[in-house]
Amino acid sequence: MNQTKKTTRRGFLDWLIAAFSAVAGLAMTIPGLMYLWPAAKGGAAEAVEISGAGQMKPGQSVTLQVGGKPVIVVRGRTGFLAFSASCTHLGCLVTWETQKKHFACPCHAAVFDANGGVVSGPPPAPLPPYVIKEIGEKVYVSAPA
């Protein structure tokens, strides 16, 4: 009895379709996972140095990215404060208004106080604080643990 298995044209086409389907599935899945993976890691451990922090005068601010998210850092009289720069209403970027000593959201005229608390407008929550660490002359900001 001859047990050799012949590859038929139909069998080969079935295998080819399965292989292309697997490649197409991976091609669609991998970019999606790569997009989600950094967000899942959260970047909580990432500490970003505030360049030029030593030259900032009280009342000045800078916006930078920490873990892929916008963070606004303000130099106060006694040190630095950092908050998420994403408005808690719909996510617009807030700015620091030095003269008024508050954060303002341009989208729906929200105002947050210097500690990130909601003063007026539709935001449902204060600006989430970030962590500041001063090591020697350098100042770092990171997400809370």
Binding site for ligand FES (CB under 6 A): 87, 89-90, 92, 105, 107-108, 110, 121-123
Residue whose token pair is 């360049």:
51
What three-state secondary structure class fits 77? coil
Distance CA 141, CA 98 (A): 20
The least distance separating ligand FES from the CB of residue 99, rounded to whole angstroms, comes to 20
Q: How far is the CB of 120 from ligand FES (least distance, A)?
A: 10
Closest CB to ligand FES among residues 98, 120: 120
Q: How many CB atoms lie within 10 A of CB 55?
A: 8
Closest CA to 129 of 142, 111, 118, 110: 142
Which is nearer to ligand FES, 47 or 74 (by Cβ)? Answer: 74
Distance in Å, CB of 124 to ligand FES, minimum: 10
